[in-house]
Structure 1
Amino acid sequence: MQMKKTGVLLVRIVLCLLILASGFIGMKKLKGMKKAPQKVERKEPALPVQVVQVQAKTVPVVISGYGEVVSRTEVTLPAEVSGRVIFAHKDLQVGAIIEKDEVLYKINEQDFRLDLKSAQARLKSLVRDLELARKEYARVSNLYSKKKVGTQSTVEKGEQAVNAISNQIIQVKQTIDQVKLQLARCVIRAPFTGRITELFVDQGEYVTAGKNLLTLTDDRDLEVQVPLDSRDAVQWLRFQTKNDGQSWFGLPEKTACNLTWTEKESVRAQGLLDRVVRFDSQTRSLTVAIRLQPEKSATFPLVQGMFCRVDIEGRALDNVFALPRAAVSFEQTVYVVQEGRLHTRKVEVARIEENMAFITGGLKDWEQVIVTRLENPLEKSLVNILDPVQSVQPVLQPVQKEAGEE
């Protein structure tokens, strides 16, 4: 019995060994049938970038601001005499264009003409009285001096009569001049060619001296008052040399400016920097006035009330590199390409104007600067330049120069 159990166990062990041996042999055959994988050379990935080639240049600084177009010449005409308006211009309405010296209103002048006739009649009477008084004075004076007839008192009374009438004549002449002036003021004329912007009185109304009649605006004489950062203005605007003892800003040079309507960029005009208007200590801003030159506008003219952007050409930055603003990080670094790889470079930013940054240090002529926006690239990464190397120019508004200006 014991021998039978031992034989069964040996058979089982042998079967297990045969199964393991056959599995091992089969695995060896399958491994021999497997082909070795091809060796692939692993390439370093390259960053696709666009670059610009920089070169130091001299560029003008452009100071920008915003303001509303207003007329330099706007007059509210008052009535200078009292009376009823008997005539009004046929086009007397807001928006109408009135030519210079056209009659706007006529005020009833009948009372003044009556006063004039009365004063003129009084003057004629006094002139006759003066002639008679002079004759009487001459008569009594001759009688007293030559024939000793009469008295010195009589002669003096004759002289006093002549002087009294002369004084009355002077007063009446002054009255006539005043009445003529009032008659002239009964007719209100346009002092210049302009547009009616406000209308207060119409025909048939009674007005008193000092009452406003209308407001006339000259649309050909416009300006924009623009508040600028005072530090920018003082540093970059070009001022004339100040006189000794002058406590206010010097007069700015007549610098060319571009004006653009904020609602539509195609509506533009040219202007000249005219003067410094005021300094605001609370906002630390310096307000300057730009005088428009409508004859130099190539598009639809700017008009009063339009809100505009103003670009003023200031002093020049010498020996600077102009880059797109996006190419410079907040840490004032840029990425340059050297031997086909990316390198981080610290730069000195002199000024930023909208989409441009002006670099004064950290770059050299003809270096390639990456302008593609990258997020934390690895230093010395391989780069692939997508476009041919380009040069960058400051994207500034063209400023037209005055005739004869350098």
Structure 2
Amino acid sequence: MTGTARPSPARRMVLSHALAGVAVGLPWPALLACGWQVSDDPAVLGLLGAARFAPCVLLSAVLGGIGDRIGRLFAVRVSTATRLGLLTVCAAFMLAGSLWPAVIAATLTVAAGVPAFPSLAALIPQVSRRPDRDTNALVTWEISGFVVGPAVGGLLLPAGVGWSVAGCLPLMAAALLVLPRRLADPGPRVDRPRLRDGVRQVLALRVVRRAIGTVMMLNAVIGVLGVALLTMAQSHWGAGVNEFGWLTALQGFASLAAPVLIRTVGRLPVSVAAHLLVVLPLVAVAVSPGWVAAAVPLALAGAGLTAIECRTTRMLQVGAPAAFTAVALGIADAALVAAAMAGALLAPWLLTLVGPAGLLIALAAGCAAVLSRGLAGAGTMATRAEPRRGSPRRSTSDPGRPQRVLVP
């Protein structure tokens, strides 16, 4: 008798995160559409857009490391269950025609999801036989979820805004069900590490600071690129909103190709790959004669940005102290979303100074400088990173429960 092999715990966690990411992003097109119907004031749409990202900026550094204190798998399960409940409330409000209570519920859903990614990314090296591969998949879905979720929500809008939001519930329920029940016997509980100690230890490490600086630059590019593309399409390429939408979707969905891209350029040093996959494509978009010509380098940049972020996540997994891995990833999460928001806010002012093509070339130059320094010595794209010397040994007895770190 032959049996079907069950997915590994790491793959189940990645699948859960992918389903949850799509579910959380799915309601926002309906919320934006209702907001536009209620008021055509751009400030209302700006408020709705900020509501989706503000919890990540405000809470990631604090809640991101909660898995290091209460158990990482337990934190993910609580986060997923809480999001399922809040999305149910959001759908109920939308079906009842109550927009702003639904917006509050959707924003709380984003806040409840803050601990999930840092905890999962901290667990992957402890439960996976191929941590590089599974980390790449996890980071790819973390980034792509911001695009795929709203895309699915937009496709469901013809069914009505209420039912469009309700479509997220089966996805989030599935995300909860596919999570592993447990990873190991819990064993006796050790002293909980203090968040203040974790932040101090994490930021004292040069490799962590370099990784955080790198992801901030990558996400500032993403924030600026969205605004710059719109201006570029209208003023340089003679294109309209539809073409801009296609380019934006292309950039977003191209991020799903990051794992394939990593394998393709696996022998290259990370700093060299960053120039080929991010810097040069930005220059190519800036000098493209039309939007069709810009499509290929833009897609490469979308996949390249995600691929390099996968590598920086591995730098944090390996370089941070074992008991504070989720803290490091939470700080990075807050920093990268803040950088993306700052880029989007500064982009209109920068466009008036140098124009869209000049801004893209300046972004490419900034990326070249920051990535060359931040990724120096990071190995190749396919390197299976090992914990650096002197970092605390990771316990395999209970991956979900961090062990105490004694600092001399």
TM (normalized to structure 1)? 0.17
Task: Judging by fraction of residues, say which structure has more strand.
Answer: 1
Structure with bigger gyration radius = 1
Task: Judging by fraction of residues, say which structure has more helix.
Answer: 2
